[in-house]
């Protein structure tokens, strides 16, 4: 079993930045596919960014150029650097992970599907005020 704990959420004004962290109870070297999801009130959970063990990344269109996902395997930690935040980014953000990577030719174009992830954190709230 893997435990994931998110941190770094908070309240920020539009245009500001936040960095989310996700600490894993197991080595991130074993978690070959990791991602950040978010869910706003009344909306479906949405995959925001994903990274595989080779460093290939995928982003939902709405965050491209503003968010960056990265891993620090030495610290068993996943990050989400969020810049130029908008009110539409307000949501609960979740870390997710799995040992398996989807069999796709180009991860960058993948739809980040919650069904591909076995392990989930409890979430951290991000609120962006305009």
What is the structure's pLDDT at 26?
A: 79
The greatest distance separating any two alpha carbons of the chain, rounded to the nearest whole angstrom, comes to 40
Q: What band does 122 get if pLDDT is binned at 50, 70 and 90?
A: very high
What is the structure's pLDDT at 109?
A: 81
What is the structure's pLDDT at 28?
A: 73
State which H helix or E strand residue 55 sits in. none
């Amino acid at each position: 079993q893997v435990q994931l704990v998110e941190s770094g959420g908070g309240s920020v004004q539009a245009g500001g930045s936040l960095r989310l962290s996700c600490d894993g109870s197991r080595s991130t070297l074993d978690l070959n596919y990791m991602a950040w999801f978010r869910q706003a009130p009344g909306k479906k959970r949405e995959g925001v960014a994903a990274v595989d063990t080779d460093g290939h990344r995928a982003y939902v269109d709405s965050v491209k150029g503003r968010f960056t996902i990265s891993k620090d395997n030495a610290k068993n930690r996943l990050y989400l650097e969020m810049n130029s935040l908008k009110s539409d980014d307000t949501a609960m953000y979740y870390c997710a992970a799995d040992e398996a990577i989807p069999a796709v030719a180009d991860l960058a174009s993948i739809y980040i599907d919650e069904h591909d992830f076995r392990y989930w954190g409890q979430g951290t709230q991000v609120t962006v005020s305009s």
